[in-house]
Amino acid sequence: MTELSETASADTFNGPLTVGVAVIVRMLETLPASPGVYRMLNAKGDPLYVGKAKNLKKRVVNYTHPDRQSLRIQRMIAETASMEVVTTHTEVEALLLESNLIKKLAPRYNILLRDDKSFPHILVTADHDWPQILKHRGARSRKGEYFGPFASAGAVNQTLSALQRAFLLRSCSDSVFASRTRPCLLFQIKRCSAPCVERISREDYLALVEEARAFLSGQSQRIQKDAAAKMVAASEAMDYETAALYRDRIRALAKIQAHQDINPADVVEADVVALHQAGGQSCVQVFFFRSGCNYGNRSYFPQHVQDAEPGEIMAAFIGQFYADKMPPREIIVSQEPEGCDIVAQALSEKAGRKIIITCPKRSDRKRLVEHAYDNARDALGRRMAESSAQGKLLQGVAEVFGLDAPPTRIEVYDNSHIQGTNAVGGMIVAGPEGMVKSAYRKFNIKSEDLVPGDDFGMMREVLCRRFKRAQKEDPDREQGLWPDLVLIDGGQGQLNATLEVFADLGIDDVCVASIAKGPDRNAGRERFFMPGREPFSLEMRDPVLYFLQRLRDEAHRFAIGTHRARRAKAMGVSPLDELAGIGPARKKALLHHFGSAREVGNAGLADLEAVPGISKAMAKKIYDHFHPQG
């Protein structure tokens, strides 16, 4: 690959559109007639648009004729202050690079897929003598086989529960497995074979593991037939207990295979992608089929201009969706993406095997696409209805707090602690499309000068950290990091603490209010505090009041959950964890010998030396750790 760059001076030309065209014309002088990816940048160097081309020169020259372009593209050209170009060997390589750059840079004039969630998988581990089956999300760093993707954690949990009943594989962690001395509850309810205490031989356990792998790999019919034959054989031999075990296995396997809606028998490994457009918006519905089973579905709402064509949206969606995911062998679509052959070739190159993209016109596959399309249409309808209702509520919020326009970003803050310990602050964000959970933030209270339980001091620290960062990262307020309304859970005191922070930081153009529960903390009798206004309340049946209550309660839920997680983590920390050289085996030996970490700390040197596996040098190290000199 080679990279070219060109920047123009705005002083040379008259008018922003002329300046943008001049930048592109100058770039054309050195632009090769080869495949590659080009980037339009604004005066700050931020990406405006990322595109790919089979012939860069022929593609980019189109931008020198803005009168032939749409209004959106004309705006992009007018903002263009520089360009960067990366040449590639093939058009396929250019398409892969384009998808990765769009996902990474999120240029404002591209069709964008907002997808920050990874898909859960089922992992059968291969780094332990007794393999474990568990839910996995994120990087595939652990050795083993991964099966999925599943559309949601709920779908994984249901499948895991059935697999445990069918194959009795362990789900406990390696540390728990190593410390067991008797079977756990899962063995009692027939969801584990208790390999931790060798209630099953390793050979028999590995046979169950292989059956589970075969089932998840698409050999479900064979596994079920084998189980049915063994059940009949055991029944004929009057071994009814064994027959009952195989009966339960067959039921569990049948539950996994239960078809959700439509599930054609010949669709083994495929994603069904259906697009519906209405009102200038789009919904893409994706159904996941693996091993002949429906692993669920998920809705996506890509951002694009109102006049975007279906094929363009589908191509952009597929490119970005599989930029960081392994594509299945077949992608069944409702509309062919632009450059379908190139898209399929690019995915094949990425996957290292042939990927086909089909748009069926008949048969069960057509019915499957229609079913996905119906789901996309319904999901978009719900979203548009919710957006309309949300818009009315935000207009009501603007009227209540005297804003010039409905807020596009509301931030709500709350603190949580127990007598000052494990104190945390939480920030939740809401906007025209509801709760923006990707923007939620937690703040571990760090100040050592705070008096335990000083809620005002905690709020000051949280807001100071939050808005100092906003001033640093988005000083011009162009990246959407600044709120239109800050809502604080509390009364006049919390409001005053917030105003002190804003005064110190020189912020005087952000609306601030606090919400306090009324007498006896009754919901519906909340009082609102704002600078320069008397405290006021809203009518109990006012939808805006209910909306603000939901925001306050969500902030409270988030802060409480964060506090509990931090407290649980602190409770799970042992003083022995701070000792270098004390691994699981030595830790287990010390705890078995003394009963608790506290007793280890109280033990004498001779007592420590008596513990199996603890040398005199290690005993001295442990003793010195708990009895520092000076």
CATH code that applies to domain 270-381: 3.30.420
Q: Which residues contact 481 (CB under 8 A, 6 or more apart)?
A: 470, 473, 474
Per-residue HEC secondary structure of 578-611 comes to HCCCCCHHHHHHHHHHHCCHHHHHHCCHHHHHCC
Q: Which residues contact 283 (CB under 8 A, 6 or more apart)?
A: 275, 276, 299, 300, 301, 376, 377, 379, 380, 383
Kindly provide the b/e burial profile for residues 119-139, where b requires at least 16 CB atoms within 10 angstroms of the residue's own CB. Answer: bbbbbbbeeeebbbbbbbeee
pLDDT at residue 4, rounded to an integer: 59
Check: CB of residue 230 under 8 Å from CB of residue 211. Answer: no
The two three-digit tokens of residue 583, written as one number: 């691994």
Q: How far apart are CA 614 and CA 620, in angstroms?
A: 10
256, HSE (Cβ side, Cα atoms, 13 Å)? 31
In the chain, list all ranges with CATH 3.30.420.340.
410-570
* 15 phi/psi in degrees, rounded to 5: 85, 135
Q: Is 71 helix (H, G, I), strand (E, B) or coil?
A: helix
Query: Between the CA of residue 619 and those of 40, 325, 425, 576, 588, what are the distances in Å?
Result: 65, 50, 41, 13, 15
The two three-digit tokens of residue 438, written as one number: 């990707």
Q: How far apart are CA 431 and CA 411, in angstroms?
A: 9
Q: Is 195 helix (H, G, I), strand (E, B) or coil?
A: helix
CATH class of 410-570: alpha beta
Q: Which of 485, 324, 476, 507 minimizes the C-alpha distance to 396?
A: 485
Check: CB of residue 288 under 8 Å from CB of residue 149. Answer: yes
In the chain, list all ranges with CATH 1.10.150.20.
575-626
CATH class of 575-626: mainly alpha
Check: CB of residue 484 under 8 Å from CB of residue 409. Answer: yes
Under-70 pLDDT residues of the chain: 1-14, 115-117, 218, 220-221, 255-265, 417-422, 448, 450-453, 518-524, 563, 566-575, 577-578, 628-630
Place of tokens 């519905």: 285
Output DSSP code: residue 451.
Answer: P
Q: Which residues contact 477 (CB under 8 A, 6 or more apart)?
A: none
Strand ranges for 535-585 from DSSP E: none
If you write DSSP's letter for every residue of 316-356 in order, what string do you get? Answer: HHHHHHTSSS---SEEEESSPPTTHHHHHHHHHHHHTS--E
- pLDDT, one tens digit per residue, over 554-600 is 988 888 877 677 666 655 556 676 677 777 788 778 877 777 777 78
Q: How far apart are CA 430 and CA 427, in angstroms?
A: 10
The runs of H, that is alpha helices, within 438-491 are 455-473
pLDDT at residue 618, rounded to an integer: 86
Is cis: bond before 475, omega within 30 of 0?
no
The two three-digit tokens of residue 464, written as one number: 């100071």
- pLDDT, one tens digit per residue, over 82-92 is 999 999 988 98
pLDDT at residue 376, rounded to an integer: 92
pLDDT at residue 260, rounded to an integer: 44
Place of tokens 């052959």: 341
Helices and strands in the chain: count of H runs, count of E runs: 20, 19
Query: Between the CA of residue 589 and those of 27, 254, 610, 612, 626, what are the distances in Å?
Result: 71, 45, 11, 7, 18
Check: CB of residue 148 under 8 Å from CB of residue 188. Answer: no
If you write DSSP's letter for every residue of 352-370 in order, what string do you get? Answer: TS--EEE--SSHHHHHHHH
* 436 phi/psi in degrees, rounded to 5: -105, 85
- Of the CATH numbers 3.20.20.150, 3.40.1440.10, 2.60.40.10, 1.10.4010.10, which one belongs to the domain with range 2-105? 3.40.1440.10
Return left, alpha or beta for 258; rule: phi > 0 is left, psi -120 to 50 is alpha, else beta. Answer: beta
In the chain, list all ranges with CATH 3.40.1440.10.
2-105
Query: Long-range contacts of range 40-47, CB-CB < 8 Å, 24 or more positions apart?
Result: 40/76, 40/77, 40/79, 40/80, 40/83, 40/107, 40/109, 41/80, 41/81, 41/82, 41/83, 41/84, 42/79, 42/80, 42/81, 43/10, 43/79, 43/81, 45/82, 47/101, 47/105, 47/106, 47/107
Check: CB of residue 591 under 8 Å from CB of residue 600. Answer: yes
Check: CB of residue 559 under 8 Å from CB of residue 540. Answer: no
| Cα-based torsion angle of the residue sequence 552, 557, 559, 560 in order, rounded to the nearest 10 degrees | 130
If you write DSSP's letter for every residue of 142-177 in order, what string do you get? Answer: SSEEEE---SSHHHHHHHHHHHHHHH----S-HHHH
pLDDT at residue 255, rounded to an integer: 64
The two three-digit tokens of residue 128, written as one number: 């332990």
Place of tokens 């597929």: 318
